Amino acid sequence: MLDQLTHSPHFYHYLYLAVAFLAAFNILEVLFLLVHKTRMERNEIRKEALKRRVSTAIVTVTDPAEILPEPSDYVEYAAYSEAISSVLESFEGELAQRASGLVRKLGIDSYYRSMARDAVWYKRASAIDTLSAFRLPHNREFFLAVFRSEASADVRYRIVFGLSLLARGSEDIVAISKALSSLPYLTAKYTEDIFFNIITALKLAGKEEDFGKFLTAIMNDASIRPLIKRDCIAACHAAACERAATVVKRYFLTFKHEPEILIACVRSLVRMGNFDVIHEALFHPDWRVRLTGLKYAHLSKDDLLKDLKRLLHDSNYHIRVNAGQALARLGAPGAQALREAAGADDKFAAEAAAYALTLAEAAR
Amino acid sequence: MLLIFKAYLSKAGHEVVTAIDGMAGLEKVAAFGPELIILDVNMPRMSGFEMAKQLKETEATKDIPIFIMTSLKQEANIKKGYDLGIEEYITKPTNIEHLKLKINKFLERKKTC
């Protein structure tokens, strides 16, 4: 076949033709890329200019919709939504109201709502992210409806996140928890963020106590996994949900055999000013709970000197080292205890004490 | 956020110079000698904390009031900011009207001193 081709009188014609075709293809490809790059750069410049215009209008005009034209293509919608999201993320009060008003008046939410029904999943995901950033209460029902029909897990996670930003009461928390339970897998950070958003939204709505009621309702609910309960309490810590302090204390007393829940409880309660749990945490059989207690030992109102000295002899290395540092944070009596322990027969305790003394010296 | 700040504070009668990251911020501080600095924490190349540290350690800039404005609400970050010697740690979302009042108060106090 190759012989036939190379001996053909038209061989060089074919060869020239093939080379010419490849050269033309390459030139066209380069031209296409150059045109595409120029177009993208132009769009980016247009978007930045429009974002600046929208931001300035929000700041300077009481009703920015009066002076801004309706967006007409994808780039313009992106510019409007980025400018508005940036305002809503950073500011509250009048500026936030003006930005939210712009979303409704210029039909920006309608555009993204229709995009949230697109056939391509990443377009739907992007639309949900944008709608979430607007935090418009009327999108709650829309999110719930889309969640019911959405097939892509990637989009479903985003919808739950969007819903968490719009929570206004107990019903919403239950709806979001059900939606959470239907997701294929959950990470601690994601779940904590969801509950953090819920608490923050409830605080804004003046219904912070609703989260405490929710925690009470799920405490003995076996269908809710312990790790989700832990993430709820961790969110209480992050969002400083002080109205839930009593319930968190009940969790601490109830879940004695769930170290992860206990750790979250200790952190939350300490942040809320309840230091009673520190002493008890120091006696827990799980070293991670003892460690959490040690981190906050200096805040306790109880006299922990004796217990901290005992923990210098703990079988766990982390506990011994942190007991030394907790003693160092107690001031003069702690330093005295460390000096005594540094010369003790137990070489592990002596090492931990000497290390804590070195650190304290270096800090001075 | 930079655009909003610039537009709002310029409208309020302040001369505003912006920088997109910590390194550029330090250069602008050296060039313009501002009366007050507002920083974000999460910035490219140099964080707001690092920039604040450098400003407070430099003789020529240590007395310039620094406001940190960030979405980082954790106590550890707030403590870190105040430990560096900043004047205000403001968490987002914030009310820009209140922020303007704070800025004016600081600048007035500075002039009185």
Structure confidence by residue, pLDDT tens digits, A169-181: 888 888 888 888 8
Taking a contact as any Cβ pair under 8 Å apart, which residues of chain A between 65 and 124 contact chain B?
83, 86-96
A92 Cα to chain B: minimum distance (Å): 5
The CATH architecture annotation of domain A276-364 reads Alpha Horseshoe (1.25)
Assigned CATH for B2-107: 3.40.50.2300
- Label the pairing between strands B88-91 and B94-95: unpaired
**Every domain of chain A and the residues it spans:** 167-274, 276-364
Q: Give the gap in angstroms from C-alpha A270 to the nearest C-alpha of chain B.
A: 12
Confidence of residue B113 (pLDDT cuts 50, 70, 90): low
Q: What is the DSSP letter of B79?
A: H
Q: Is A51 on the interface with B (CB under 8 A)?
A: yes
Chain A residue numbers with beta carbons less than 8 Å from the beta carbon of B75 are: 271
In this prediction, residue B63 has a pLDDT band, given cuts at 50, 70 and 90, of confident
CA atoms within 13 Å, Cβ hemisphere of B107:
14
- State how far the Cα of A309 lies from the Cα of A104, in Å rounded to an integer: 63
Q: Of A58, A92, A94, which is closest to B94 when you measure between CB atoms? A: A92
User: What's this model's pTM, rounded to 2 decimal places?
Assistant: 0.75
Q: How far apart are CA A176 and CA A138, in angstroms?
A: 16
The predicted-structure confidence for A266-293, as pLDDT tens digits, reads as follows 999 998 888 889 999 999 999 999 999 9
**Percent of chain B whose predicted confidence (pLDDT) is above 70:** 99
Q: Closest partner residue to A59 among B8, B75, B94, by Cβ?
A: B8
A175 touches chain B (CB under 8 A): no
pLDDT in tens, A63-103: 888 898 899 999 999 999 999 998 888 888 888 899 999 99
Cross-strand pairs, B90: B69
User: Which whole-number Å values give the CA distances from A180 to A123, A149, A161, A162, in the listed order?
Assistant: 22, 15, 10, 12
Using CB atoms, pick whichever of A52, A88, A91 lies closest to residue B3. Answer: A52
Does pLDDT of A222 surpass 90?
no
CA distance B21 to chain A (A): 17
Mutation to test the B interface, candidates A95, A97, A193, most B Cβ within 10 Å: A95
Residues 6+ apart with CB under 8 A from B75: A271
Residues of B in contact with A203 (CB under 8 A): none
* Cβ–Cβ below 8 Å for A91 and B93: yes
